């Protein structure tokens, strides 16, 4: 167990907020869980009571059934035990939040997963200066610098238009990335129907129910090859190389992920068109955020902690790695 300040503890199964008797994103069922966002490695079923944004609770309900959840709006402050707690936007996926806690004059912010660049599907990250900042570090190496999202979308569209007899099949995580790709395409003026794999249908509907408009979407089931030629098809990454894709008209296989920076990762999935589009902060976003928040201490979770820890130390900020278990790169 590591201690964060005097009242927050890091355990392998999550961060424990002692004066509120609550766990943040616990990997084991707990009586009281505060959940930053709906990705499966952060939001698990089986907790006694969940505090999360309305959107996150709805995402959890589609995955685990109804939750005994208490919704909290962005920027609303509630008192739990001896802690004032507030959720503020993290800019990661629909409903994602950082958790801001104050206790005895000390402020701790747990970022959850976050990014700084604009995303049409959720409000932008709000920087909250704090004493202790708990940050993710999925892309915590200087080699990870994500390019401009618009230019990646343009590459996708260029490829699509260069051969109307083929489709472009984009692998994108079902929660967040898939809907972001669709809205980014719409923002670049692409108003054609977009085809989708059945596995992302419920989340598309959920996003639309929260007012994120995705334009005309069509299920690939029942569509002919001729109909899908010249169109974008979105599917979860696991479907890129399976039998399902044989129904598509000579697909150009693309994948939207921060990991596409690594050529070997693209090759492993037989990706012809790697698109570097991530829902996580890249190296510059991580370091800019730490500079901006100017915390006394930084605690670093899931990812490549070592380089960011070193960076903090060279900038006179105390830093430490948290050894939380169960976080995966499911949602990059």
With respect to Zn ion, which residue has the nearer C-beta, 39 or 309? 39
CB of 49 to Zn ion, least distance (A): 22
3-class SS of residue 100: strand
Contact with Zn ion (CB under 5 A) among 39, 166, 180, 261 = 39
The dihedral sign for the CA sequence 160, 164, 169, 172: positive
Q: What is the 3-state secondary structure (H, E, C) of 112-168?
A: CCCCCCCECCECCCCCCCCCEEEEEECCCCCCCCCCCHHHHHHHHHHHHHHCCCCCE
CB of 110 to Zn ion, least distance (A): 12
With respect to Zn ion, which residue has the nearer C-beta, 270 or 323? 323
Binding of Zn ion by 113 (CB under 5 A): yes
CA dist 226 and 248 (Å) reads 9
Binding of Zn ion by 180 (CB under 5 A): no
**Given the rule CB under 5 A, which of 111-119, 120-128, 247-255, 261-269 is the region that contacts Zn ion?**
111-119
With respect to Zn ion, which residue has the nearer C-beta, 307 or 324? 324
CB of 132 to Zn ion, least distance (A): 19
With respect to Zn ion, which residue has the nearer C-beta, 7 or 305? 305
Residues 6+ apart with CB under 8 A from 117: 91, 146, 149, 285
Phi, psi dihedrals of residue 28, rounded to the nearest 5°: -120, 155
CA dist 4 and 25 (Å) reads 16
Binding of Zn ion by 305 (CB under 5 A): no
With respect to Zn ion, which residue has the nearer C-beta, 149 or 253? 149
**Total binding residues toward Zn ion, as defined by CB under 5 A:** 3
Interacting residues with Zn ion (CB under 5 A): 39, 113, 331
């Amino acid at each position: 167990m590591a201690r964060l300040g005097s009242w927050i503890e890091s355990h392998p199964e999550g961060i424990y907020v002692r004066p509120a008797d609550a766990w943040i994103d616990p990997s084991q069922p707990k009586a009281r869980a505060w959940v930053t966002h709906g990705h499966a490695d952060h939001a698990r079923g089986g907790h006694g009571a969940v505090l999360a944004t309305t959107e996150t609770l709805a995402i959890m309900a589609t995955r685990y059934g109804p939750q005994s959840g208490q919704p909290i709006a962005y920027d609303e402050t509630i008192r739990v035990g001896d802690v004032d707690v507030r959720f503020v936007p993290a800019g990661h996926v629909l409903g994602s939040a950082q958790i801001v806690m104050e206790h005895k004059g000390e402020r701790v912010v747990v970022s959850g997963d976050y990014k700084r660049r604009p995303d049409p599907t959720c409000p932008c990250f709000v920087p909250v200066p704090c004493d202790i900042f708990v940050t993710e570090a999925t892309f915590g190496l200087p080699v990870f610098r994500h390019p401009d999202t618009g230019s990646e979308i343009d590459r996708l569209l260029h490829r699509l238009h260069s051969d109307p007899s083929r489709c472009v099949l984009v692998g994108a995580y079902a929660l967040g990335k898939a809907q972001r790709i669709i809205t980014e395409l719409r923002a670049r003026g692409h108003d054609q129907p977009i085809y989708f794999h059945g596995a992302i249908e419920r989340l598309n509907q959920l996003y639309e129910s929260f007012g994120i408009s995705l334009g005309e979407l069509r299920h690939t089931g029942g569509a002919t090859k001729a109909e899908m030629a010249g169109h974008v098809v979105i599917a979860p990454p696991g479907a890129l190389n399976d039998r399902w894709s044989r129904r598509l008209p000579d697909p150009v296989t693309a994948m939207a992920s921060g990991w596409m920076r690594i050529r070997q990762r693209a090759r492993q999935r037989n990706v012809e068109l790697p698109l570097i589009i991530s829902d996580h902060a890249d190296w510059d976003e991580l370091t800019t955020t730490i500079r901006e928040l100017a915390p006394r201490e930084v605690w670093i979770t899931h990812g490549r902690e070592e380089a960011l820890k070193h960076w903090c130390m060279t900038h006179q900020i105390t830093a430490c790695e948290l050894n939380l278990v169960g976080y995966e790169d499911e949602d990059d």
